[in-house]
Each structure stands twice: as C-alpha cells, then as structure tokens.
A and B are shown apart, each in its own frame.
Chain A
Amino acid sequence: MGLRGLLGAAALAIGALTGTSAALAQDKPAQLKIGITTFMTGPASVFGVPGKAAAEQWIEDFNAAGGIQGVKIAPVYLDEGLGGDNLLSEYRRLVQEQGTKVMLSAISSGNCNIIAPVAEDLKVLNIMWDCSTEKVLEERRYKYVVRTQGNATTEMVATVMYLLKVKPDFKTIAVVNQDYAWGRDSWEIFRNTLMALKPDTKVVAEMFPKFGAPDYSTEISRLSALKPDVILSTAWGGDLDTFVRQASQRGLAKKSVLVLPLIESSLERLGSAVPDGVIGGMRGDHYFLHPEYRNDAKHKAFVAKFRAKTKTYPIYPVYHMVQALEALAQGYEKAIKANKGKWPTTEQVAETMRNMEFRGLTRPIRMRDDGQGLEDQMLGITKAVPGLPFPVLDKLTIIPATLTTAPVGQRSPEWVKTVKPELLTSPLIKTYGDTAPPAN
C-alpha cells in the first residue's frame, strides 16, 4: 500500500469533505445555547469574574421569567485568560460542535480583533460585550458582529472634554498605557482629540509597559521626576490596581492630576489607596450611584441582589454584560415579531439588532447601522466620603455619545482631528453636584 497508494486515497477524500454548512433552522429550539468569553484567570480576572457573576444572575432571573417566549438561555463560559489561540480553538469548538447560536465575546480588544472575522466566517451572531477598540467595526462591515456598548472614540473624546472642562490650563501630559490593542488605540485617539482641542499641549512621556506587567516602580520614578501636569492611564484590572497602589504609596497624585478613565472598576478593591482629585470614568454611565438611575427599580433590585451574592458593588463590566444580554433578548423578541411569531434565523436577529434601541440598567442605548452601540459617557472626580470604605466619583457629568462618536463609515483617528472646541459648551451635556454615599 506504499506512499503512492496513500496519496491517491487522500485526493479522493478531498471531494467528500467539502459539503455545505448546516441547513436553515426554523422551529423553536429546546434552549438557546450561547457562549460567553470572559477572563477567569490572569490579571483581568478581577474584571471577568464579576462579569460572569452578572451573566449567571441575569440569565437565572431571565429564564425564571420564561426566557425568550419559553426558550431558556443555556450559557457556556470560555476563559480569555488562556490566550488568543486557545480561545479561538474553544470558540470554534463551541460553534461547530455544540451548535452555539450566539457568542458574547470578548473583554480584551485583542481578542475582539481575532474573533470578529471568525464569527463572520462561522456565521454566528457575535455580540462584543466589553471590548472597545473602534477599529473592529470601522475597518470592515460585518453582518454577524455587533457591539452593545461604546467604543474607544466615544470614551476618549468624552474624557478629553471632561479634562478640559475641569482643568482647562494644563500644559504637559504623560501616558502609561498597557501595551496591547486597547492601550495603543485609546492613546492614539486621546492624543489626536487633545491636539485638535488644545494644540499647545506637550506630551512629555509615552510608556507602554507589558500587559500584566506586575511592577511600575521605574515608570513611577520617571513620572515623579518629570512632574507632568496630567498623567493618563487607560489601564484596567490587576494592572490598574498595581499602578494606583504604587502611585499612591509614592505620592504621585500630589504632583500631577491622574486621569484614569477605567478607575470605577477598581475603586472598591483599592479602597483608601485611591487619592482624592483623580479624574475617573466608567466606560459608559455605569455607576451604582448614577444620579438619574440610583433609585430606578430595575437598577436598585439588580445592585442589591448582586451585592448580596458577591459582597461587592457591580462594576462597569457587570453593566456591560447585562446590556449585552438585554440587547440579545430584545433583539430576539423584535426578530420574532418581524418573523410573524416564528423563531428567527441568526441572520434575522443580527439584522434586527442593527437599528434598535434597548435599555440595560442605566441610560438606553441606540444601535447604529454599522452595529456600533451609542452609549453616553459619565465622568467624575474621586472624593472620599464618610460611611463608604472607598471614594465616590463626585461632580458627575454625562456626555451624550452622539457628540463623541465618529459617524458611520468614518475612521476615528481622522474624525477626532475635526472635533471643535464649541463641543465643550454643548447644552446636551448634563452636570451634577456632589454625589451622596449610598443610603444603607
């Protein structure tokens, strides 16, 4: 049967295997299998684990209330901490082998970049529930990929606007971002916006330590010596915890204003280590002390139940997870209505989710035609308050997404250069006074 015979057999087999993909499923399935990728290991697990808890809690309540017209949601969780290539193999296995119809992925912008084209390939609806790199949806039109939260542009432009409102006369700025897609892209947009609105600002240092880099001491020494007026870091999770802890140990916040757009997710963990006067954000308007929604029934109930279960207040990945699941449920409901009551195909749901409005726990989100969600941004300044072991975000300001997001079809790095200073005085921006600590 030598080598030649083998090669002949192989050529024959090639024809048999290239069959077409699965036929269109019409009838209502027993359950809706969805895959959720989150960080269960590594520095980002401080993010991923609460996100998973939020999903479990929301799905449990949702299924109890009857699910999508009787169809319960069956989640499977994948660990983004295993690295891009392992995640990809598991992602494919879930879709190809276990017939998962919807994937909520991912947290890391790097993983979103990897997964989007594969989702399109596998024809599975992929909701980007927490990653924010704008490049994914701006570089290519996807049919099966949507994002139910804001992107880097929405957040960075809002952060620059808030910084210029609170500290209009600063001269020098330094940046210490994580060295991967999010760190690099967010700085590019922040810098272009800043140069458009305040061209005379001088960037004194640009540092990108390794993602998961455990020790910032050398970077902090350099920042202490340079004494820039403003220090920006879009780090998050374990990395942000280490940076803030070491910065406060060495009094960095006394000499420069820290701008930490993702600080809300670390406040409770860091507690008193967070100095006052830090400009902070929450990638959206996700704050359990949200001035407009702190007493909203749905929001209060969820926060109370989440706190009972996890002993911690919900942080913004929790809100983003709820938003993604709400969007999924409302997407299916609308698609079923449009499909005269019959169970919709993945394509129909993906289409319906493009131009719909839905509400998570705070302000409603409007989904655009390119699959990008418009999510208003809220920022504040940290202040220690009695009765709460960690600081609150004071002087809250909400900046609508319509002002800070690149229109459909435009590339953000170029669009942000056209941002005008008049934007700062837009009447749509709402500002609130002091934030009172929670009642209980």
Chain B
Amino acid sequence: MTVDLLLLALADGVSYAGLLFLVALGLTLIFGVMGIVNVAHGAFFAFGGYTAATFVVALSGPDTPAIVLLLALAAAAILVGLVMGTALEAGLLRRVQDKDPILQLLVTFAAFMIFEDLQRLIWGASPRSAAAVVDSLGTLELFDVTYTRYQILLVPAIAIVAYFSLRAFLRRTRIGKQIVAVTHSREVATALGINAKRIGWFTFVIGAMLGALGGALAAPVTSLVPGVGTDWIVLSFSVVATAGLGQITGALIAALIIGIARSIAVYTMPELEVVVPYLIMVGVLLVRPSGLFTVAQARRI
C-alpha cells in the first residue's frame, strides 16, 4: 500500500463519504427532532435518484451546459423531499406521534415497503442512470489517474456546503433555533410557544430533501435499480449510529471514517469492502453505546 495508492484511496473515500454524509445528515436531523429513526429514508434516496435520472435524461442534449443538469439534480431533490417528506410526516407520522416508539418505527418501515413498490410501478425495473452529468463536467488527472470532476470535486463540495449551511441555519436563523429547541425538548419548546408541529414538518422535509439529494447525486455515478434504497438505509444507519443519533458534526466525521475505510479496503482487502461499515458500527457501539459524539444521559428516578 504505497503512499500514492493511499492518496488515491483517500480521493475515492472522500467522494463516497460525501454521499454517505448527505443521506446520513437527513436521517440524523429527523431523529433529532422527531425522535424516531426513519426506516423510509432509503426511499427518499431512491426516489431522489430516479427523479434526477428522469430529469437529466429529458434535459440532456449533445450540448446541454453542465449547470442545467446540476440544477435538474437539485430540483429533483427539492421536489422529492417536499412531496414525500410532507406525505410521510403529515400523512402518517403525525397520527402516531403519541404511540409507542416501536410502532412509530414500524410505520416508517411500512411506508418504506409501500414506496419500494411505488418506485417500481413508476420507473419499472430496468436500470436508470444520469451519466450525462458526469460527462458534461469532464475529467482531471490526480497522480496520473483520471478522475471525473463530478466525483472528486463536486460531490464532496456539495456535502461540505450542505454541512456548513445547515450548521449556520441551525445557529443563526429563527427557525433554526426553534428546531434546536424542539430537538432538545419538544414539551419545553411547545411551552415556549414554538409551533412544534410546523417545526416537525419543516425539519422532516429538510431531512427528506437531504436524503433525496444523496440519491440525486448518486444517480450519475451508479445505475439505479429496484432495491438500491434498501442498501442505503442500512449504510446511513451505520453512519448515524457510529456518530451518535442527532449529531450533525459527528455524522460528517463518521461518514469520512467509513468512506475512507471502505475505500482503503478495496485496495488492501477487497473481500472485506462490503463488511467494513458494519464492522466499524459494531466496534463503536460496543465501546460507546450511544455513538462517538453523544454524551450518555444519566437515567433519572
């Protein structure tokens, strides 16, 4: 494992971590506010990807500028996030808010099963891709290995922008502060006059958009097939659990750890590539049950 191979592994690892982070960010944000792990989050990823692929294929002509295609990806993410986020939060989760958390988790599992078939009914089963986006951005050389600008520059850049803008949003804007308040305690926040219902919906839609954005950004580099959502749910769980539920900065670091470890595994022990995220997750959970970055709260009696 020479140094330049390590750097190559880092390049791929960071790019993969970008996608992982975006999807995990949506999941952890929703957990922070709603207190449930949304099993249907993988459906946001899948629908985001498929919608993006449909838009890109429709728009891409021989000379369509890259910016138009990128906007198509963003539009797909926003549209999917809004529609599906609202449908799931307002339509379903609000009805089970007071029920046992196990039942809330299962409602999202049921929603996932519905979305899975819905996706096949809409887009069929043959693979879809939005490769035109990657071609439109060209390539660059790194240690005389050709990389696509899309994967090495764009995806990590979007992930970083998403991280900082979300942090700034939560710290500086009014709605952002309300979200943080509801995250810490829904009762106290409501007592202070915060419309927890509206905040819950708003955060859920933001989380859904982030999940969909992950899918939209993955569309150009992968071929979307039925079942792609299922893998991404468990992968995002591994990031969120490693970081600690509700930890945004933690999710970025955990995504980097898992993304780079997975990429290094391809170079050294390709057999273990698929197992790496879950080995890390088990390792961390055994040592720090509530994740790397969460302080365990003492039980009050």
Contacts and interface: CB of A to CB of B under 8 A. Distances in A.
Q: State yes or no: do A and B come from one complex.
A: yes
Contacts of B223: 43, 214, 238-239, 241-242
B118 to A, nearest CB: 14
A43 B8 contact: no
B271 interface: yes
Contacts of A205: 270
Contacts of A221: 8-9, 11-12, 145, 147
B139 A40 contact: no
Interface stretch (B65-73, B125-133, B237-245, B287-295): B125-133
A214 B224 CA distance: 7
B126 A49 contact: yes
24 contacts: A41-B125, A42-B125, A45-B125, A46-B127, A206-B270, A207-B270, A208-B270, A210-B274, A214-B223, A217-B221, A218-B13, A218-B16, A218-B267, A221-B145, A221-B147, A238-B127, A238-B223, A239-B223, A241-B129, A241-B223, A250-B145, A250-B146, A250-B147, A250-B148
Does more than half of chain A's interface fall in helix, strand or loop, or is it mixed? helix
B221 A46 contact: no
A41 B195 CA distance: 44
A251 interface: yes
Contacts of A214: 218, 221-225, 228
A222 B148 contact: no
A225 B225 contact: no
B143 A225 contact: yes
Contacts of A239: 223
Nearest to B263: A218
B61 to A, nearest CB: 15
A41 B226 contact: yes
Interface in B133-174: 134-135, 139, 143, 145-148, 151
A300 interface: no
A246 B223 CA distance: 11
Interface in A182-234: 205-210, 212, 214-215, 217-219, 221-222, 224-225
A177 B185 CA distance: 51
A67 interface: no
Contacts of B9: 218, 221
Contact of A42 (B5, B13, B129, B227): B227
B15 interface: yes
Nearest to A219: B266
A47 to B, nearest CB: 10
A224 B145 contact: yes
Contact of A238 (B8, B225, B262, B271): B225
A245 interface: yes
Interface in A358-404: none
A225 B146 contact: no
A173 B141 CA distance: 23
A215 B222 contact: yes
B198 interface: no
A267 to B, nearest CB: 16
B11 A251 contact: no
A207 B145 contact: no
Contacts of A241: 127, 129, 223
A291 interface: no
A81 interface: yes
Nearest to A208: B270
Contact of B222 (A40, A45, A207, A242): A242
B120 interface: yes
Contacts of B267: 218, 222
Contacts of B266: 207, 218-219, 222
B226 A225 contact: no
Given A43-B223, A214-B224, A214-B228, A245 B126 contact: no
A249 interface: yes
A217 B5 contact: no
A178 to B, nearest CB: 13
B125 A251 contact: no
B63 interface: no
Nearest to A42: B225
Contacts of B129: 241-242, 245
The interface centre, meaning the residue of A81, A224, A251 with most chain B CB atoms within 10 A of its CB, is A224
Contacts of A206: 270
Given A206-B270, A208-B270, A249-B131, A225 B222 contact: no
Given A41-B226, A42-B227, 19 more contacts: A41-B125, A42-B226, A81-B125, A206-B270, A209-B273, A212-B225, A214-B218, A214-B221, A214-B223, A214-B224, A215-B222, A217-B16, A218-B9, A222-B5, A241-B127, A245-B129, A246-B221, A250-B139, A251-B146
Nearest to B224: A214
Contact of B8 (A42, A208, A222): A222
Nearest to A226: B5
B274 A249 contact: no
Interface in B83-126: 120, 125-126
Contacts of B146: 224, 250-252
Contacts of A250: 139, 145-148
B135 A249 contact: yes
Given A41-B125, A46-B126, A251-B139, A218 B225 contact: no
B45 to A, nearest CB: 12
A245 B134 CA distance: 10
Contact of A217 (B4, B143, B151): B151
Nearest to A243: B223
The interface centre, meaning the residue of B135, B146, B218, B224 with most chain A CB atoms within 10 A of its CB, is B146
Nearest to B4: A225
A224 B126 CA distance: 29
B139 A43 contact: no
Contacts of A222: 5, 8, 266-267
Interface string A31-59: 00000000011110110010000000000
Nearest to B11: A221
Which are the 10 A-B pairs with shortest beta-carbon distances?
A: A214-B222, A41-B125, A238-B127, A224-B145, A218-B12, A218-B266, A250-B146, A242-B223, A45-B125, A207-B270
A108 to B, nearest CB: 15
B126 to A, nearest CB: 5
Contacts of A245: 129, 131
B227 A217 contact: no
A207 B274 CA distance: 12
